[in-house]
Amino acid sequence: MAKGKSGGSYRSAISGRYVTAKHGKASPNTTVKEAAGKSGSSGAHYRSAISGRYVTTKHGKASPDTTVRES
């Protein structure tokens, strides 16, 4: 799946790879929907695949299967 489409894209929390929208919607606990055109963030951040919220770096590193590292 190409990143940057108008509707956003889905990323697997386990592999970190982009997945199809169908897979993303079918697996909400292990995928994160990324907003299109996000900008302005500095450094790496972690986002929970379950809640979609940003989490601390400590939590992100401790839970690699359910968080996604965003740069």
User: Which residue is listed with tokens 């590193």?
Assistant: 61
**Which of 17, 18, 52 has the alpha carbon at shortest distance from 9?**
18
33 bridge partner residues: 10
Domain ranges of the chain: 9-70
**pLDDT per position as a tens digit, 12-63:** 888 888 899 999 999 988 888 877 655 555 678 898 988 888 899 999 999 9
